[in-house]
Structure 1
C-alpha cells in the first residue's frame, strides 16, 4: 500500500506541477522542488528525511530508481554465514521519507547552469538546491571474465546482492586448495570489506577442519593491507600469525573460469602478468564514479562530484552539495563517513535555505571501518581519512580485538542505521567522542 501510495503521489505531483506551469514546457522543467536529492542510499535518505520534515510536502524530491534499499555493511556477515540476507534489505517505499516525493526513475543528465536534472523518461526536474548522493558504480566489466563467472563454481563477491548469498555456501563446500581474495586498483565502498571476508573465511576453514589443506592468499592492488597504519600494522600482524599470504600491488585483470585461473598484473614489477590457480575466489570488483556524474559539469577530473572537503558544497555551483561515495571527499567511502557528512551537509544546506548567515559546519574526514577478524572478533577502526589519525569514540585503544565491538557492529549499529541514520536523526558519534574525551587516556601512537 505504501509503495502504491508513493508511486501515485509521484505521478500526481508530476501531472499537477506540469499542468500549473505557465511557461513553455520547452524552457521550464516538468517539475520543480526546493530541494532535489539524487539517490536513495543512506546519504540521500538522511538528508531528505531531515529537510522534508522541515519544509513539508511538495518541497523535497528524492530521485531513486530501485525498489529495494540495502544495508550493505551487513553483507560481510551474510557472506561469512553470520547473518541472513533478509536482514539487509527493505522495500524502498518503507524507508522513503513520508514528506518527500519519490520519483522512481534514473537521472541521466545534470544541467547545473539551469538548475535542472534530466530523467531517463525524458522529463526534467528543477531545483533550487541539489544534493547528489548517487553512490559508486561497480564496474564488473573491469575484470575480464568476471561477470560471466560470478556466482558459479567458487567465484563470488560480497559486493553483489545475488552473489553474496552464495559466498557462505561456497565456503561450506570448500574442501581445500587455494582460497584467493582480491582488492582492486580503484576506490571502493567499504575498503575494509575484502580483508574482512578473508579473515572470516580463514576461520571457517579452521572450524571445518580443512585449514591444513588450504592456502589462503590475499592479493591486493594496494601497497599495504590497510590504508591507515595505526590499524594496518595490527591487521598485518594478524595475517602473518594466521598464515594468510599477502601479495601487494597485485591487480586482478582476468578470471579464466574454465581453467580456475585468476590472472593478475604485478604493478610493483613492471606490470608482470602472473596466474594463480583457485578453488575458491572472492573478488572485490573495480569501482568508480557513476557515468552520468563523470560526464557532467559537476565532476572533477577523476569523475567525482567536485565539492569542498570541509563544507560538502560544490566548488563552482554553490547551490549544489554532494555526500557519500559519489563525492570527491578524500576519505574512505563508508556508511560511517556518511553519518558525519550528513550532519555537516544538513547544517550548511538548511541555513542556506533559511537565508541565515552562520559559520559553516566543517567535516573532519571522520570514517570508520570495523575490521572483522573472526566470528567474535573485531578491531573498531575510527579515523580521519584526511589526516590518517585516529578519531576513536571510546576511551580505550581500539586497536585491540574486541568481542564487544563485534556485537556493537553486528547487532546495534544496524538498528541505528535503519532507525537513526535513514530517518535523519543520527549524525555520527562525535558527541560521544567529546563526552569521553575527559576520561580518555593519552597514549603514544
Structure 2
C-alpha cells in the first residue's frame, strides 16, 4: 500500500488472503476500481468483499475500464470517499486507475502541480491527466513515448513476436505494453487441474521474460487511434508508433453466466481457465466420492475449445483409478454446435488470415487470440503466427522481399486420460496437419508419446524456445 493522503491508500491488486494485514494496518474500507475478469489470476470483487466483511472492513465497487476514467467517475469516487469510514484503500491492477480517480476528484480543489507531485511520491505519473484537464493541448501532439515498433500485450504472442523480430534485426527499436507482473503458461492449467503440475510451474516473473533491448511500458491500454499512429494508455498517456503489433489476448466474461461470480471458487464450482482456480479443481476431483459431476462448455468464442473436455476426461480417469467412477453421474453440457470449434465473428482484430496484416491499416499486425483468423485460440497457433508477423513486419520496413504466410495451424493436445493424449493438429478448414510421421505419433489416436510431449517437452519448448526466439518447427513459409 502507498499512502496518497491521510485518508487514502493506493494499491495494486489485492487478494482475499490480504484482508487481515490490511485491517491490521488500520484501513477501515476498501474500494475496488478494477472490473472483474481482466486477468487470469484476478479474484472477483465478490470474493474480495466476502473476505473484507470477515475482517471487519467495508467494501465497495467502482470499476473503471483501463484508461477510461471519466469526470463523473471522479465525482463518484469523491462521494464514496466522503461516505466511507477512513482510511480507505483503493485498488486496481496497478493502482493507476485509483490514483487517476483521486486526481479527477481533486482537480477543482488542488493545483495541478500538487496533484502530480503527490501522486509521484506513490509512483504514479499523472502529468498526462493534468494535460487532459487543462484542455489546452492537442492530445495527440504530445506523446509520452514513441517507438519504431510497439507491441500491445506481453503474452505468448507478444513476447514471441518481439524475440523473433530481434533475432532477424537486433537494432530495432521495440516497446512492449503490458501491466502484468506475471506471465502464465496457460496450457499448463489443465494439468494443474488434473494434479499433474503445481500452479507455480505455470508462472514466471514478467520482467525476466521481456527480451533484453526491448522497453517494457508497464501500463494498460485504453484504446487505439490508428489515424494518428497512437496507442492510448491509462492515465491519459499516449505512445506513438511506426508499426504496431496488437496481441492483447482475451478477457474472460465470468458474469456471462448468471450467478457464476457469486459461487466461483467455492461450493464445488471451479474453472481451469483461471490460475488460482485450477488447483481448486484438483482439490474437488481428488476428494470426490460420488454424485453429480457437471462439466460445461460455453458457446464460441472461447480460448482452447478442448479445455472443458480435457477437464472431464482427466477427472473421470482419476475417479476410475480411485474406484469411485461407478458412483459418479458425469454429464458434459455444451452450448456449441461442435466439440471443438473456431470463431470469426464481430469484435476481432480484422486481419488478413494469411499475412496477419490489418485489412485497413497496413502498418498494424495481429497475432494471438484476439485476431479474426478462423483458427483455434491456442499457444500452438501463436507459436506459428509470431514468426510470420515478425517476417512480414520486416517486409513492410523494406528489410525483406518475400511475404510469409500463416496456414491456420493450431494444436490441441486432447488429454483423454492421465498418460494418454490425442495430439490434434490442423490448419484452416480443419485439415489435419501432423508434425510427426504417423508411425511415430498418430494424431488420430491416444498415445503415451503424445502425453510425454505435453508434460515433458512442450513446457520447455514454450519457455526456452518460443519465448527465446528459437523457431523450432515454426519457420515461416515464404511466397512470391
Equivalent residue for 2:456, pick from 411, 424, 433: 411
1:57 positional shift: 6.9
CA pair 210-307 structure 1, distance change in 2 beyond 3 A? same
1:424 positional shift: 2.0
In the aligned structure 2, how far is the partner of 1:26 from the partner of 1:62? 20
Secondary structure at the aligned position of 1:61 is classed as strand
- Per-residue CA deviations over 1:357-415 (Å, capped at 9, x if unaligned) read 6231111111100000111010010001x221100011113211110110011110110
**Normalising by the residue count of structure 2, what TM-score does the alignment of the two structures yield?**
0.68
Which residue matches 1:365?
Answer: 408
Residue segments in structure 2 that go unaligned for 5+ positions in a row? 1-122, 128-136
Which residue matches 1:187?
Answer: 301
In the aligned structure 2, how far is the partner of 1:150 from the partner of 1:190? 20
Q: After superposition, where does 1:57-206 map in structure 2 within 5 Å?
A: 59-206=173-320
Tell me if structure 2 keeps the 8 A contact 1:33–1:127: yes
Higher strand proportion: 1
Tell me if structure 2 keeps the 8 A contact 1:325–1:334: yes
CA pair 303-187 structure 1, distance change in 2 beyond 3 A? same
- Per-residue CA deviations over 1:287-328 (Å, capped at 9, x if unaligned) read x9xxxxxxxxxxx97111100001000000000000110111
Aligned: 1:323 with 2:367: yes
Which residue matches 1:7?
Answer: none
Equivalent residue for 1:398, pick from 443, 459, 465: 443
Tell me if structure 1 keeps the 8 A contact 2:355–2:405: yes
In the aligned structure 2, how far is the partner of 1:71 from the partner of 1:402? 23
1:217 positional shift: 0.6
Tell me if structure 1 keeps the 8 A contact 2:313–2:416: yes
Aligned: 1:340 with 2:384: yes
Tell me if structure 2 keeps the 8 A contact 1:373–1:379: yes
1:153 positional shift: 1.6
Tell me if structure 1 keeps the 8 A contact 2:387–2:475: no
**Normalising by the residue count of structure 1, what TM-score does the alignment of the two structures yield?**
0.73
Larger radius of gyration: 2
Q: CA RMSD in A?
A: 2.4
Which residue matches 1:254?
Answer: none
In the aligned structure 2, how far is the partner of 1:99 from the partner of 1:57? 9
Which residue matches 1:221?
Answer: 335
In the aligned structure 2, how far is the partner of 1:344 from the partner of 1:26? 31
Tell me if structure 1 keeps the 8 A contact 2:167–2:469: no
CA pair 26-335 structure 1, distance change in 2 beyond 3 A? closer
Which residue matches 1:425?
Answer: 470
More off after superposition, 43-52 vs 178-187? 43-52
In the aligned structure 2, how far is the partner of 1:430 from the partner of 1:55? 16
**Greater relative contact order: 1 or 2 (C-alpha under 8 angstroms, separation 6 or more)?**
1
In the aligned structure 1, how far is the partner of 2:140 from the partner of 2:471? 41
In the aligned structure 1, how far is the partner of 2:234 from the partner of 2:360? 26
Residue segments in structure 1 that go unaligned for 5+ positions in a row? 1-10, 16-22, 229-287, 289-299, 434-445
CA pair 52-356 structure 1, distance change in 2 beyond 3 A? closer
1:202 positional shift: 0.5
